[in-house]
Amino acid sequence: MIGYVILIAIAIALSTAVFFYLKLYLPSEKPKCYENIDLVIDDVFCDLGPVPPGGGNPAGATVYVNFSNRGLFSLDAAYIKFGEVDRTFRTILNDPPDRDLLKSECNSQDPELKPGAQFCKDFPYSTTVSPTTVYEVSVEPLIWIENKPVLCPDSIVRKRVGCL
């Protein structure tokens, strides 16, 4: 009788060990961005800041970004980035993944960007800007799934802009 008890105990212990081993090594299902997320950048303007008294390039600019949600899902946030078109490095103009960042006058201050809704806002850009350089604005959508922010790398939209 004791033999059977020991056998069963060992079998349970082994199966538990194998379960945790497999759990550690097998890929888990991570929250993934939906497929039908589609943004369109409608307008981008870049207004140069004042030229410094000694001359040279302005120490900053104001970037106006206007985009629409043409997809099937509401967006919770978006990373709006600005930088030189020849560089991968981009400066983030807003501050996701905090919510409420998609509130704008074009969206009736709604924290979500619902399908068909539009976002528009001016952002200050404090790095030196050259009027001869081409810049790029990129917008990467973000949604919250199971209380976690999930980026949508397949839905990034970009638009080139010169600063005037």
Partner 1 sequence: MNRRGVSPVVATVLLIVIVVVLAVIIFLWARGFLSESAVKGDRVVSISCADVEFDAQVVVVANECDGDSAVDINNIGNIPIYGVQVLRYDSSAGSIEDVPLTDQPFVAGTVTIGRSSYACLGISVEPEDAFRIVPKLLAEKDGKKIAYTCPEKDGITIAYVGF
Nearer to partner 1, 17 or 134 (CB): 17
Q: In terms of DSSP H, where are the helices of the chain?
A: 2-25
- Select from 42, 74, 90, 110 the one that contacts partner 1 (CB under 8 A): 90
Q: Which two tokens stand for residue 31?
A: 């929250």
Q: Which stretch binds partner 1 (CB under 8 A): 39-47, 91-99, 103-111, 112-120?
A: 91-99
Applying CB under 8 A, does 19 fall inside the site for partner 1?
no
Query: Phi/psi of residue 40, each to 5°?
Result: -135, 125
| C-alpha 33: how far from chain center | 11
Nearer to partner 1, 108 or 147 (CB): 147
Whether the CA torsion 100, 45, 92, 31 is positive or negative: it is: positive
Whether the CA torsion 41, 155, 144, 89 is positive or negative: it is: negative
- Select from 12, 15, 16, 21 the one that contacts partner 1 (CB under 8 A): 21
- Select from 66, 74, 91, 133 the one that contacts partner 1 (CB under 8 A): 91
Cis preceding-peptide flag for 50 (omega within 30 of 0):
no
- Residues near partner 1 (CB under 8 A) are 3, 6-7, 10-11, 13-14, 17, 21, 23-28, 30, 79, 81, 83, 86-92, 96-97, 140, 142, 149-151, 153, 156
